[in-house]
Each structure stands twice: as structure tokens, then as C-alpha cells.
Amino acid sequence: MKTQSSARAPRPLVGVPACTGLVGQHPFHMVGDKYIQAVRSGADAAAVLLPALGEECLEMLEHLDGILLTGSYSNIDPSHYGAAWQQDSMQTDPLRDATTLGLIRAAVTQRIPVLGICRGFQEINVALGGSLHQAVHAVAGLQDHRENKDEPLQQQYARRHPVTLQQGGQLAQLMNNALTQQVNSLHGQGVERLAPGLRVEALAPDGLIEAFSLADTNAGFLLGVQWHPEWKLAEHPFYQSIFRAFGRACRARSRARRT
């Protein structure tokens, strides 16, 4: 029998806000399996799905040790960053917007670790006061960062371009200052104006911001990445390092919360 001192500490609880949409004719709250598996295997944490219920989700924060903001086929409604719609066919998810933007601000205030991926990366920027390019490929000087949806998933998520990690940043430290890393690219939108309080962690070859963190390194763990590190996690040491760092921050929060 294990003694109390040798028993494994409970895994930290990571809240994963859901997207909403129809499955058949029924509305669903849903999260992609790849994100749940990455929380389990990459961060060694337990994923807790958060329904898109707006401010009601704030009541759950005191029970959580981290927040993972996933990618999505939907985009943030431009009204949240003071812009007009530039694409009539853009897919949005108002319930997710109503849930995640307030959740991010509260998590930062309460120093709860946050990892944002793709749409989640963009949500952090908007929640904290930044803005987005609604069509990166239409901006002079920027490349087309979208995937070819006609290709098999393995090709869509293949590494597409390098990112340059910024000297002294969290990602550079994780990779022992190996400042060039290869990433996938599956996004149509991107950061236009970086939110106050954020610092650039990585840039694409065309200068587009691909990752950021909190400028105040004492303000808690927050990392946003525009690529998808959850994909084939076991095959990519760089992606693994991101989830391990997130997991460490969540475990520190869990210990503090328990004591």
C-alpha cells in the first residue's frame, strides 16, 4: 500500500472551452479530441470541457489549474476589436466569444496558466486589447498562411515554414536558444496590433507574429501560438516542450490551490 507521502499528486485540471455548432439538427458544445489528448499526454493534466455559457464559466475558474484555448473553424466577431466585417462568408461562434474573452481576462488577473492555440492565440490578443487581420493573405507583404483543405490531414498539418524565436523569450529558453523552429500553418487570420502587455515570442518569415507571452514575466504563465502544437505531439520535440511548460505551470497552480 502506498503511503500518503509516496502517493501521486492529483493531476491538475485544465479547462478547455467548447465551440458550438450543429451536429445534424441538434446544437452541440464540442472540443476536438486532439486537444484533449494533448492535455493528457503533453501536459500530464486532466481536461475538463467548459460549455460555452458566457460569464457563467467564470464560476468554474477557482476549481481550475489552467486554461487551454483551442483552434476552431470559426473566427472571432470583428466587433470585439472594433472592426467591420471584411468577409461576408466568415464563420463565427458568438457563444464561444461570449465565453472565452471574459475567461481570458479573468484568468490573467487570477494568474491561472493559459495556453492559446490558433483561434485561442487570436482570442488572447483580442481579449487583452489587440486587433486582427481578417485575411492575412490579402495584406501586402504577408504570405498565405492557410492550409489546402483538399489535402489529407497529414499534409495539411505538415511543417510549412520556420519561425524565429525571440532571444530571451520563453520559447527560446525552452529550446536552449535554438532560435529557428519549423511549424505547421493552418490559419487565415492573424495578429494586426499586438495587445498591450504582450511580448512577441516568435515571428514568421514575412514578419507576422506567430507567438507571444506576457511582457511581465512575473505575472504568471501565458503563451499563445498561431500554429498547432497539439498535432502529432509525440513526433515534435518543439511542440512537446510547449505542452510540458504549460503542464509545469498548471501543476504549480494546483499545488498552490490545494494549500
Note if 57 is an active site residue: no
User: CB-based contacts of 179: which residues, under 8 Å, 6+ apart?
Assistant: 164, 165, 166, 167, 172
Active site residue 56: no
| Catalytic site residue from 123, 201, 210, 230 | 230
Q: What residues contact residue 128 under an 8 Å CB cut-off, 6+ apart?
A: 104, 105, 108, 195, 196, 197, 198
Q: How many CB atoms are located within 10 Å of the residue 49 CB?
A: 13
Q: What is the CA radius of gyration of the chain?
A: 18
Three-class DSSP category at 131? strand
Angle (CA) 42-71-238 rounded to 5° is 40
In the residue annotation, 118 being an active-site residue is answered as yes
User: Which H or E element spans position 258?
Assistant: helix 237-258
- Given a contact cutoff of 8 angstroms between Cβ atoms, the answer to whether 121 and 79 are in contact is no
The catalytically annotated residue of 133, 145, 187, 228 is: 228
The C-alpha atoms of residue 28 and residue 24 are separated, in whole angstroms, by 10
The active-site residue out of 57, 118, 210, 250 is: 118
* Residues that are catalytic: 118, 228, 230
